[in-house]
Structure 1
Amino acid sequence: MTAPPDEQVSTAVGSLVDFDVAARTAARLVRPGPAVRPAEVAEAVESLRRSAAEAVVPVEEVSRLRRDPAVADEGPALVVDRPSWARANVEGFRALLAPVRVPLPTGRGGRAVPLDRAAVALGRRTTGAELGGMLAFLAGKVLGQFDAFSGADSQRPGRLLLVVPNVVQVERELDVPPADFRLWVCLHEETHRLQFAANPWLRGWVVDEARALAGEVLAQPRALAQRLQDVARQLPDVLRGSGSGPGLLDLLQSPRQRERVRSLVAVMSVLEGHADVVMDDVGPQVVPSVARIRERFTQRRRGRGSLDQVARRLLGLEAKSRQYADGARFVRGVTARVGTEGFNAVWQGPGALPTPAEIADPRAWVRRVHG
């Protein structure tokens, strides 16, 4: 008789990752930010806090979204350095994966095969180090982030993070007015915060989808091992940019999982594209140099060095860059047909979210949702 799939034959994914190792690894590997005097750091921190507060009203006016009164106030934006951003995301991963369980190997009669403690300990440290290395790389790239995962299983709201050394570095590279650039960045991130604050169901949906996908990918260790072999064979194509998928994560997924990922990516495209559209629509009202900032920022995205491009392919970040453009085209395509209020029907619930095909064809979404 086969044992039932209960707690005795499964284990929490979170127990297979050493998150403390991840945090220490990220702190050790993260590259230092630009050279900034202490007085400049203090001024930049205060400027970003002020910009985040200034962004609230114009974002609400242009998006026509209103915070749900049932959603707890997140408090002011957190202005952080690179190691602090990495630590925050380690905690986000910990919160995300804690409830996810995967089956243990079973032997005859469906009984769980005891795990080798030494192997598990080594695996936990290795996985933690890999997570920390990935976050160390990303910590030098991210300007801001709405962290929806931390506190996802409690009444605590998400939190808005602004990475001050990265903002200062990019504004210097672009040679744009710092005050304008900081407000422009905050308009994008504040839109993300409002998306979740105005639509409480959205955070739970994103968290549940991410957890389900993580459990599905990790629940088939043999299939995952085979896909790892496929990755090794296709890695040269990925590095050259000629592979079939956007990065290693795509290669590690089964066809069914890729479809699930495509659906999740479609929603992420809407979130990112909507934030870009709101940011640029608000811009002329409050950011005098918005046209110059957008032009130079877009050129910077195209002009990355070869090593950076390789790393972005490996992590699938090139696909994320396409999300901004694809999502913005969808938002503008829908808005041109049914206006801002008509577009906001996308927030009615999971059934109103666009499919991957609809992201490329806004008219199809309008026909389905608005008839």
Structure 2
Amino acid sequence: MGSMESQQPANPSTPDSSETAQSLINWELAASTAARLAPPGPALSRAEIGKAVNSLRRSAEISVPHVHEITGLEAARDLRDSHVLVVDRASWSKANAQSFAVMLQPALKQMLDSRRGAALTPAAAATSGAITGSQLGAVLAFLSSKVLGQYDPFAALAPESKAPPGGRLLLVAPNIISVERELNVDPDDFRLWVCLHEQTHRVQFAAAPWLRHHMLDEIEKLSTHLLGNVDSLMERASAAARSLRDRSGPGDLPRRGAILDLLQNPEEKASISHLTAVMSLLEGHANVVMDAVDSSLVPSVKTIRQRFNDRGKDRGVIEKFIRSLLGLDAKMRQYSDGAKFVRAVVAVAGMEGLNRVWESAEHLPTEEEIHDAKLWLERMGL
């Protein structure tokens, strides 16, 4: 029998674990902090901003038929359940804070539920939320000046979300303009080239409607492992920071992000391995599509790719350190590893054979298969 206390009606003024979990990270503070800390974008007049927004919208629209032609994915014919937004850095940060809230909510709630013996008061949760919100905001501020575009499939799952059911594609106008100026390339060519990559992500999730929840489940699994034992997590975070400090210097930057150094047990490693493989596929596939166009569509495509690749060599030591800490260099390897996998599969089985990856989660490549496409081809009977 339950105790009398457990049978009493809940105090309506006491937040449940979901509400408390949500308050562990102050998402609004994260967004506002990012907006405040983000470096200013290029100086543009109101007329120039309007012209750039219209240009990006036009490039986004034009790119979809080309994605369909290159990939053969029929989902590209109808993308009405998602839409395109041209945003600034602050809006990108706010959108990502909303998506992080969706991705981390289950893990935060489970963490609290597993620590019922050490209940967290609303005041303590609010204090923790302010600290973590500020920290996340600083990370978002850095990233907000680096991202050219992003397909966000998770926004629609947020409570009271106004995002369309299929998600939203964010094109970060100030960053696209900054990079095209830095590279000294044709703006129309560069914008279409970027949109080909980002619209491919939009088509991927439309072609595989199960993919959003599959990724969300895997992210929940990984974040639950990481947050499940807070004491262990803090110990490992401290050890990773020491390791990063000891290994890092102008000529000796670590090859992996310190975040990855937190992963120790087999379940954690399996989760990150699977997510790495999926992200490598998505990014590599999009890169192959954006580079598949010829000069009749993007006349300066070869120049753009060469200058874009060379751009990373000029980063300063501080930026390299931050990118390494966040694991962004590992993300860049996902682009190249995934592209090699896609090209190897297409060379043997054509784009039609590759498109079997969008049929079910079981058809997604493993991390080992990403590095050896022959293994995936054999498993698929191709």
Which amino acid counterpart does residue 39 of structure 1 have in structure 2? A
| CA 244–45 in structure 1, closer or farther in 2 if over 3 Å, else same | closer
**Equivalent of residue 20 in structure 1, options 9, 28, 35:** 28
Alpha-carbon shift at residue 358 of structure 1 (Å): 0.6
Distance 1:70 1:278 in 2: 18
Distance 2:285 2:113 in 1: 44
Q: Does 1:96 align with 2:74?
A: no
Distance 2:114 2:194 in 1: 50
| CA 367–106 in structure 1, closer or farther in 2 if over 3 Å, else same | closer
Residue pair 2:218, 2:275 contacting (<8 A) in 1 also: yes
Which amino acid counterpart does residue 145 of structure 1 have in structure 2? Q
Tell me, which stretches of 5 or more residues in structure 1 are unaligned? none
**Equivalent of residue 262 in structure 2, options 252, 257, 275:** 252
Distance 2:137 2:118 in 1: 30
**Equivalent of residue 197 in structure 1, options 183, 198, 206:** 206
Per-residue Cα deviation, 1:288-311 (whole angstroms, up to 9, x for no partner): 110100010000023212111111
Alpha-carbon shift at residue 236 of structure 1 (Å): 1.3
| CA 122–283 in structure 1, closer or farther in 2 if over 3 Å, else same | farther
Alpha-carbon shift at residue 61 of structure 1 (Å): 0.7
2:364 aligns with 353
Residue pair 1:330, 1:359 contacting (<8 A) in 2 also: yes
Distance 1:163 1:95 in 2: 21
**Equivalent of residue 291 in structure 2, options 252, 270, 280:** 280
Per-residue Cα deviation, 1:187-244 (whole angstroms, up to 9, x for no partner): 0000000000111111111112112211221111121122022123212145338577
1:179 aligns with 188
Deviates most, 58-67 or 33-42? 33-42
Q: Does 1:35 align with 2:43?
A: yes
Alpha-carbon shift at residue 99 of structure 1 (Å): 3.5
- Cα RMSD after superposing both structures: 2.6
Residue pair 1:358, 1:364 contacting (<8 A) in 2 also: yes
Which amino acid counterpart does residue 165 of structure 2 have in structure 1? R
Alpha-carbon shift at residue 138 of structure 1 (Å): 0.4
Alpha-carbon shift at residue 283 of structure 1 (Å): 4.4
1:151 aligns with 156
Alignment of 1:186-265 (within 5 A): 186-237=195-246, 239-240=248-249, 246-256=256-266, 257-265=268-276
Which amino acid counterpart does residue 378 of structure 2 have in structure 1? R
Alpha-carbon shift at residue 21 of structure 1 (Å): 1.1
| CA 213–253 in structure 1, closer or farther in 2 if over 3 Å, else same | same
Tell me, which stretches of 5 or more residues in structure 2 are unaligned? 4-9
Residue pair 1:239, 1:314 contacting (<8 A) in 2 also: no
Distance 1:296 1:48 in 2: 21
2:7 aligns with none
1:48 aligns with 56
Deviates most, 215-224 or 131-140? 215-224
Distance 2:58 2:80 in 1: 21
Question: TM-score, normalized by length of structure 1?
Answer: 0.91
Residue pair 2:21, 2:112 contacting (<8 A) in 1 also: no
Distance 2:355 2:362 in 1: 13
Distance 1:152 1:105 in 2: 22
1:165 aligns with 174
Question: TM-score, normalized by length of structure 2?
Answer: 0.89
Which amino acid counterpart does residue 125 of structure 1 have in structure 2? A
Distance 1:81 1:235 in 2: 32
Alpha-carbon shift at residue 35 of structure 1 (Å): 1.6
SS in 2 for 1:33: coil
Distance 1:137 1:238 in 2: 22
Per-residue Cα deviation, 1:321-360 (whole angstroms, up to 9, x for no partner): 1100000000001111111111111112111111111111
**Equivalent of residue 78 in structure 1, options 85, 99, 109:** 85
| CA 209–70 in structure 1, closer or farther in 2 if over 3 Å, else same | farther
1:319 aligns with 330
Q: Does 1:131 align with 2:136?
A: yes
Alpha-carbon shift at residue 255 of structure 1 (Å): 3.2
Aligned-residue identity in percent = 47
Which amino acid counterpart does residue 99 of structure 2 have in structure 1? G
SS in 1 for 2:110: strand
Q: Does 1:122 align with 2:122?
A: no
| CA 70–295 in structure 1, closer or farther in 2 if over 3 Å, else same | closer
Alpha-carbon shift at residue 67 of structure 1 (Å): 1.3
Residue pair 2:341, 2:373 contacting (<8 A) in 1 also: yes
Distance 1:42 1:70 in 2: 27
Distance 1:337 1:233 in 2: 46
Deviates most, 124-133 or 145-154? 145-154
Residue pair 1:81, 1:165 contacting (<8 A) in 2 also: yes
